[in-house]
Amino acid sequence: MARLSIKTFPDTAASRAHYLDKVDAAAEAARKRFISPGEGQAMAYEAKLAEARRHPDNGPFPWLEKEAQSRGISTADMAALVLTRRDEWVNAGSDIEAAKANAKRAIRNADAPSAMHAAVKALEDDLDAI
């Protein structure tokens, strides 16, 4: 059974801030379907990407070699996997950012909390499709 929840706001600015925060949270949840959260994880991704982009003769490749070994694949295959995942992330990440920007624009232009809520729901549908 669905549950209806009604939120009240002291003014339009407060409702706008609430729904803009919901947009950011929804976008972050969508990003986490493609990448792990955390600054340290982001640094690891960047280090692996830098190694994957280097010519095979320009080692060492500590990040790729150790992960490849743990996966039972070659360092070259690991590099290819990192590059493929990066391309997938660039496509998904840019789609997420565009959907987020559209939702924020709709919220900023909305006159009523119901329209702001509708913009967040539309964003969630857009993000589910990515």
pLDDT tens, residue by residue, 62-113: 999 999 999 999 999 999 999 999 999 999 999 999 999 999 999 999 999 9
Quote the CA–CA distance of 44 and 128 in Å, as a whole number: 27
What residues have CB less than 8 Å from 123, skipping those under 6 apart? 23, 26, 27, 99, 100, 102, 103
Quote the CA–CA distance of 59 and 31 in Å, as a whole number: 31
Quote the CA–CA distance of 44 and 50 in Å, as a whole number: 10
106, 16 contact by CB (below 8 A): no
pTM of the model: 0.84
Residue with tokens 């290819």: 80
Categorize the per-residue pLDDT at 125 as very low, low, confident or very high, splitting at 50, 70 and 90: very high
68, 95 contact by CB (below 8 A): no
pLDDT tens, residue by residue, 23-68: 999 999 999 999 888 888 899 999 999 999 998 888 899 999 999 9
48, 64 contact by CB (below 8 A): yes
What residues have CB less than 8 Å from 76, skipping those under 6 apart? 56
